Amino acid sequence: MSKTKKQSPGVYSFNKRARHDYTILETFEAGICLLGTEVKSIKSGGKVQFNDSYVKIINDEAYLINCFITKYAHAAKYNHDETKTRKLLMHKRETAKLSNKLYEKNLTLVPIKLYAKKHLIKLEIGLAKGKKDYEKRDDLKKKDVNRELSKQFKQNQIKL
């Protein structure tokens, strides 16, 4: 049986592919502009998927594109569009700084996790650079070696 990792309390969704496909250089916290049915769906355990989603800066405002939030089950008539573009709430100087970095160094912005902070829903986004295939393979090899070393270390401690 495989063990499933439990998410920490307050984390609604986590982008597992972000750290695999990208090297995260810097992270930022942003609020997200949601409708009532979206908030209810997220807090009641609805799925939030970051597959192929990214953050784009348009006219000094950040937007989350292609993020999937399931429809709220108890809203019959006035439900939200599942994959609409959602505005991120950040300071102007933060978005200006990010847009300069994006265009200078050929980087991208990816969503990392969606979580609760006090009573608000926040999105952690990362300034990232794409990994090549050989870099991904090297990371997997390092991960396997570290796993083997930790197993051996645990076995040696138990014998003592």
- Which CATH number belongs to the domain containing residue 26 in this structure? 2.40.280.10
Q: Per the domain annotation, does 81 fall within a domain?
A: yes
Long-range contacts, stretch 137-143, CB < 8 angstroms, 24+ apart: 139/20
Residues 80/71, Cβ–Cβ less than 8 Å:
yes
Q: Per the domain annotation, does 58 fall within a domain?
A: yes
Domain count, the chain: 1
Q: d(Cα 89, Cα 61) in Å, to the nearest integer?
A: 8
Q: Per the domain annotation, does 138 fall within a domain?
A: no
Structural domain boundaries enclosing 35: 11-132
Q: Per the domain annotation, does 151 fall within a domain?
A: no
- Whether the CA torsion 22, 14, 63, 120 is positive or negative: it is negative
Q: d(Cα 8, Cα 116) in Å, to the nearest integer?
A: 11
Q: Could you tell me the mean pLDDT of each successive run of 10 residues in the chain, 160 residues long? A: 59 86 91 90 88 90 92 82 90 91 87 91 91 85 89 74
Supply the pLDDT for residue 80.
81
Supply the pLDDT for residue 1.
44
Q: Per the domain annotation, does 109 fall within a domain?
A: yes
| Tokens describing residue 66 | 């292609």
